A and B are shown apart, each in its own frame.
Chain A
Amino acid sequence: MKRQQVLLIGEIEHAHESWNALSTLADLVTPKARNRSDFLDECRSGRLDETRVICRTFASVELTGRFDEELVSALPPSVKFVCHSGAGYDQVDVNACTARGIKVSNTPAVVNDATADTNMFLILGALRGLNRPMSTLRDGNWRGRPLPPLGRDPRGKTLGIVGMGGIGKNLKTKAEAFGMRVIYHNRTEDPAADAEYVSFEDLLATSDVISLNLPLNEATRHKISHREFELMKEGVVIVNTARGAIIDEDALVQALDSGLVASVGLDVYEFEPSIHPGLIANPNVMLLPHMGTWTVECQKSMEEEAIRNVRGALENGKMRSLVPEQANGHG
């Protein structure tokens, strides 16, 4: 019998030892293709027919494109597991995978700290209006003229977390150390949240800072748009480290220009790496290039977690962190 194969799409950068150790269980292969159409051809060519597990990275989307219905249906029938290295897995069409009997895992818990850290950095930067002084100083103009407007203290402000999952809970602990009061909204109340549960509309209407910590899917695309901005407090601050398309970016720029939204802190964008020119032109907003999980420690942990999922799939057909859609389906 031929040995089973693990197909790696993308690069393992840090967890080389754990990755190489998988070679006692399976042959480790990589695709020859360098673009989507070649990859689809390669899948259909029979070259990957022994592949049981695919391990893919967030960046590998540049090579294959999304794991959508077209791509999933082109995968060899032998593929039973897709292990995604990353917390957000909107690049993978889970329904299409489920329909083909493919299990999907992601790496949720390990990104909580790094993402919440970036989130807090953006909250502080946006509340305090730090983009402007950081820029004037670098231009050799110290604080600039006219002086930048005074910032706001986080202490005593209400932070509304939309999506109280692992990252939201982690952020809550950090924000409370700055004296913020935390409220949250989820589809259902979570007793483990240890914060006041409010309706989505109440959260929009009463938060001084709104933090988006929910996954992107059909139901959450443009979750924040014109109607939602109109419900918010004037001078609200919005922070997004989840996925860009959760906010209607056009509507956001309008709300910033009108002064309704005082500032935003963004790590993610609707059409990244392209960023709305109205955001780039705005000196009051804090912008980062989607780097929430980009620390040595977090990247390594994500790879290790994805590899643990690969190992589980190979050893006993079980993955530690099946995506919730599939985990819940399996009871």
Chain B
Amino acid sequence: MSQRAALLIGNIAHARKEWQDVGQIASKLYEYPEGGSRDDFLSKCKSGVFEGLFALYRSNDSNKVTGNFNDELLDALPKSLKYICHNGAGYDNIDIEACTKRGISVSSTPIAVNDATADVGIFLMLGALRNITQSFQAVRQGNWRGNFALGHDPKNKTLGILGMGGIGQAMAHRAKAFGMKIQYHNRRQLPASEEDGAKYVTFEELLKTSDVLSLNLSLNAKTRHIIGKAQFDKMKDGVIIVNTARGPLIDEAALVDALKSGKVWTAGLDVFEEEPKIHPGLLEAENVVLLPHIGTATFETQRDMELLVLDNLKSAIKEEKLLTQVPEQQKEKANI
């Protein structure tokens, strides 16, 4: 058997021992810890430091070390690399097409993140329905209720979910317990068993008839700014927007305008267009509930995600198979 070395880029916080255990099946374990830079990483790649590299572990966190996995970086990696095991449900920092072209398979960590992300989605939705920020801040400043205004109940409101994947379905399941009606839009309608009573509508209808719009789709070239001025104009007056997916799905400047005009009553956001930078119009607004992209930041979920990446890594080394390969690559396989 040829060499099958594994590389860890960045940190493992909760499954250090399980990473060390990969050494029992890999020919060698490399680490490129935090503190490095893209230039340094590229030059190490080119000088053959990661000889025999077969599979690597990377994460959305470690992206700040290496930068995006694009053509330039993929060209620098050893030709022996066949598998990229990514920690994160979103993987817009990996050029999947470029990987596919080079025969590199990529996995992400769906499912593991569904609960934690949907929990934050509901938290933001409830907070936005109550327009909670003003009183939340007032109570801490010793002003009790401050300029208090009444909020709204979720009960009998229509929740529109754009992107009914695992997270969207987890969101729907929770929202139903709050008495909400669920409708959704996907490129394709789900089988009835996965719809669980939710109504499939066109994108247009979703915009026009939802009281709360939740974004649960992935970011790619087609979905960037999928919600902009034209879409806000179609929405109900006083709509509520929730985004736990990716910031650039929304044209943030258009959102700020819509919040100011009252078209959008309130919003709950965990993600931003230029994180960690936030549009000053959002920071100033009292009618938004804002979190610093912590959708999956729980002990249990972080550990589950790390273990899932390592399971992918081990499966790649032992059986040349990924457990949770990204859907773009699964489809291409299915078409062959």
Tell me the A residues contacting B by CB distance below 8 Å: 113-114, 117-118, 120-121, 124-125, 128, 130, 133-138, 140, 142-143, 148, 150-156, 173-174, 176-179, 272-273, 275, 280, 287-291, 294-299
Asked if B251 is at the interface of the complex by the 8 Å CB criterion, the answer is: no
Nearest chain A residue, comparing its CB with the CB of B135 = A289
Chain B residues whose CB sits within 8 angstroms of the CB of A140 once the complex forms: 283
10 A-B pairs within 8 Å (CB atoms) are namely A128-B119, A134-B289, A143-B292, A150-B302, A153-B119, A153-B298, A275-B139, A296-B150, A296-B151, A298-B153
Expressed in whole angstroms, the Cα–Cα distance for A66 and B177 within the complex equals 37
**In chain B between 151 and 175, which residues have their CB closer than 8 angstroms to a CB of chain A?**
151-155, 173-174
Name the distance in Å between B125's Cβ and chain A's nearest Cβ.
9
- B139 pairs with A153, CB closer than 8 A: no
Chain B residue numbers with a CB within 8 Å of A174 are: 174, 177-178
Binds A, one of B92-100, B140-148, B205-213, B219-227: B140-148
Residues of A within 8 A of B176 (CB): 177
Q: Give which listed residue, B120, B138, B290, contacts A137 with CB less than 8 A.
A: B290
**How far apart are the CA atoms of A275 and B142 in the complex, in Å?**
8
CA distance A128 to B144 in the complex (A): 23
Using known A-B contacts A137-B291, A152-B299, A280-B140, determine if residue A128 contacts B174 with beta carbons closer than 8 Å. no
Asked if B298 and A134 make an inter-chain contact with CB atoms under 8 angstroms apart, the answer reads no
Q: Is the pair B155, A297 in contact by a Cβ cutoff of 8 Å? A: yes
A179 contacts B140, C-beta separation under 8 Å: no
Measured CB to CB, the nearest residue on chain A to B300 is A153
Mark interface residues in B268-311 (1 if CB within 8 Å of A CB, else 0): 00000001101000010000011111100111111000000000
| Chain A contacts for B155, CB-based, 8 A | 113, 297
Contact in complex: B116, A153 (CB < 8 Å): yes
Q: Nearest CB to that of B144 among chain A residues?
A: A273
Decide if B115 touches A150 in the complex (CB within 8 Å): no
A297→B153 contact, CB < 8 A: yes
- With a cutoff of 8 Å between Cβ atoms, the chain A residues found around residue B179 in the complex are 113
Total interface residues on B, CB under 8 Å, equals 50
Report chain A residues within 8 Å CB of B127: 121
- Closest residue of chain A to B127 (Cβ to Cβ) is A121
On B, residues with C-beta under 8 Å from A are 115-116, 119-120, 122-123, 126-127, 129-130, 132, 135-140, 142, 144-146, 148, 150-155, 173-174, 176-179, 275-276, 278, 283, 289-294, 297-302
CB distance from A146 to the nearest CB of B (A): 14
Give Cα A137–Cα B288 distance, bound, in whole angstroms.
12
> A72 to B244, alpha carbons, bound, how many Å?
53
Q: A134-B290, A280-B142 are known; give 10 further A-B pairs, CB within 8 A.
A: A124-B119, A128-B119, A130-B291, A137-B278, A155-B300, A177-B176, A287-B140, A291-B130, A294-B148, A297-B155
Cβ contacts under 8 Å, A121 to chain B: 123, 126-127, 130, 132
For A138, the chain B residues whose CB sits under 8 A away are 137, 283, 290
For A290, what are the chain B residues with a Cβ–Cβ distance below 8 Å? 145
A156 surroundings in chain B (CB, below 8 A):
300
What is the bound-complex CA distance between A202 and B122, given in angstroms? 30
Q: Point out the residues of chain B lying under 8 angstroms from A153, CB to CB.
A: 115-116, 119, 298-301
List the B side residues contacting A143 at CB < 8 Å: 276, 292-294
Residue of B138, B178, B276 near A117 (CB, 8 A) is: B178
A178 near B174: Cβ-Cβ < 8 Å:
yes
Instruction: Determine the chain A residues whose CB is within 8 A of the CB of B119 once the complex forms.
Output: 124, 128, 153-154, 178
Residues of A within 8 A of B116 (CB): 153
- Residues of chain B with a CB closer than 8 A to A135's CB: 140
